[in-house]
Chains A and B, each alone.
Chain A
């Protein structure tokens, strides 16, 4: 029970529970005819705000106010009883216990293009929405915040479990031709390093701050404006009959989230090849270690064309297309298929895969 601050000796109220454990404010010494209202103290002061939704029920000799929406920790409530006065009760707030931390920040590339579009921040536990704008930022080499670098949005972009936050750099500053781009320029500058900063004030789902902040430093290169071109990738092919890995190496860093779901491998029977997938450092390669040995025969790597690089260029279209350049015309949105065959005759024990350029046939 917390201390109450009564403005009337006639009203005695306390935190309690009633009727099977429902949270309530218990009032003693009142008759049934009393009109009980509860307001957050901040609203009670106005005199015109509606009372808190809930029911007043009798519990033995007491009246209990059972709220329709739970009391909020740390909030002060004003209980008023017509003709008798008011009393303030403050809901106890447990001290914060920081347990959640940042487990990864993507991209892991050390160098990103000037037109970098997005980053991802992974947390060890589900998070609360509504805090990102104030606690995730970009800082320049001196540690100063880079204003207007990130997309200001009412809609925070979380995965369904609220453990991965997508952070977008302001696309209006990246897109060529737009007023924001012309007036303010890119959020980043080639040659000038910056840091993605997640401060500890970001709250987890329990409302606690992070154990510690997190940051990742980047250097900035020139723009990346090319389509993602799967036929230019390099394949390290596994030997048939082994569980050696198939590795696909890219000509640049690709988007981590999309990479996680945009590549799959099918075998001669058309069935998916299951196994362990890894994404390499700096998102420069993708590797599949099969659950069962590779069979000989034609396999296919199937690339979902939504796959993007760090600047939002996809297999289908560049991030923004110069209409005067026919080479940038959007491509078919069909999956791109890269045929390959596991090698034959290479001793499995060597574990040395053969390399060839994707698109050379298989």
Chain B
């Protein structure tokens, strides 16, 4: 693990957020409250047998039981599958407010056994992703306090209060590792922007993020160009491209080569998920030798799109607005997270009508 700059330490995780696997079983954990991304060797090296489904009912209740609380007191924030062992990792927020804890949980692919993953004394590294201004940026001082917060001091005989902390945050909504770079999509609590960060991994030894922020645009129907926060995205075409889905529902294609610092990247809108709908997660999988995309969303079943249709899709215009890429809607309501389980299965985290969460394995050749 020395190759990746990891050292023994404690992952001081303040909140559970998106997770994604990187090289050699290193798991990246985004901590939105702490404004950090941690890299952790999860020490999960047991090889597994061939492809096998994993189905587990009431996973929220089971995880809650392990963590000593009712199912309603946990939130499963993300799901990732170890690329070698195919064990399932869940990013879990246990409790809320002051008593909240962020926990990493492992579900065994072999038998569904649930354990919490140690986060202290483990090989780890961290990078800060705060959107804080530079130290010499005096704008930090002009942030205005409200209520009783802020520092009080005297200027020119008057008592003033200034807030000397940034209140701007960037909430990580999704991340992926591609060829030595963590791609991070974020949602600002202030400006409405569409920034995709590229964070090289291994992290810089100082812990500072050497990130490039890319403002990326998309065009609706050949007429409106706009930036918006990316909700979820997936590397695609062997890492040569990214398919991103926005809070305002277009699915947009970006060649990765276009995502260079300083360049204005404008993606090609290939589909819309429709009104009153939010994208939740995306996964790319192979069926009959061809790459396909599954999109989990709040309103429809899973949406399946063939990559070859994306590649030939003209940008959406008014004339073809209701068409976009051909897609099928699988009859699988309530899927909130997706991950590649193994060569034969996509794993879905599904919530039922009673609000109970289940893990479901979907055969890729039957999707």
B116 pairs with A68, CB closer than 8 A: yes
A104 pairs with B94, CB closer than 8 A: no
Q: Which of A9-17, A44-52, A188-196, A342-350 contacts B (4 or more CB under 8 A)?
A: A44-52
Q: Give complex CA distance A184, B275 in Å.
A: 8
Q: What bracket does the count of chain B residues touching chain A fall in?
A: 35 or more
B73 pairs with A179, CB closer than 8 A: no
Contacts of A158 in B (CB 8 A): 169, 189
Q: With A163-B149, A184-B275, A203-B97 as given contacts, are A52 and B68 in contact (CB-CB < 8 Å)?
A: yes
A70 within 8 A of B: yes
Q: With A72-B99, A179-B274, A306-B193 as given contacts, are A42 and B70 in contact (CB-CB < 8 Å)?
A: yes
Closest chain B residue to A290, Cβ basis: B156
Q: Give complex CA distance A255, B68 in Å.
A: 43
Q: Which of B41-49, B203-211, B214-222, B301-309 contacts A (4 or more CB under 8 A)?
A: B214-222
B191 pairs with A258, CB closer than 8 A: yes
B225 pairs with A320, CB closer than 8 A: yes
Chain B positions 30 through 72: 1 when the CB is less than 8 Å from some CB of chain A, otherwise 0: 0011010000000000000000000000100110111111110
Q: With A157-B189, A178-B220 as given contacts, are A43 and B272 in contact (CB-CB < 8 Å)?
A: no
A128 pairs with B190, CB closer than 8 A: no
B62 pairs with A183, CB closer than 8 A: no
Q: Give complex CA distance A229, B72 in Å.
A: 48
B226 pairs with A320, CB closer than 8 A: yes
Give which listed residue, B100, B103, B190, contacts A257 with CB less than 8 A.
Answer: B190
Interface size of A by CB at 8 A reads: 100
Q: Give complex CA distance A322, B67 in Å.
A: 52
B169 pairs with A160, CB closer than 8 A: yes
A72 pairs with B144, CB closer than 8 A: no
Q: Give complex CA distance A57, B139 in Å.
A: 54
Chain B positions 139 through 164: 1 when the CB is less than 8 Å from some CB of chain A, otherwise 0: 11111101111000001101010100
A172 within 8 A of B: yes
Contacts of A275 in B (CB 8 A): 155
Give which listed residue, B144, B189, B225, B248, contacts A321 with CB less than 8 A.
Answer: B225
A291 pairs with B156, CB closer than 8 A: yes
Given contacts A70-B68, A172-B247, A274-B138, 14 further A-B contacts (CB under 8 A): A50-B62, A53-B67, A70-B99, A159-B167, A162-B33, A175-B248, A177-B220, A179-B321, A180-B275, A203-B96, A206-B97, A261-B142, A261-B166, A290-B156
Query: Which residues of A approach B to under 8 Å, CB–CB?
Result: 38-40, 42-44, 46, 48-54, 67-72, 75, 77, 103-104, 117-118, 122, 124, 126-131, 148, 151-155, 157-164, 166, 170-172, 175-180, 182-184, 203-207, 243, 255, 257-258, 260-264, 272, 274-279, 289-292, 304, 306, 308, 312, 314, 317, 319-324, 330, 333
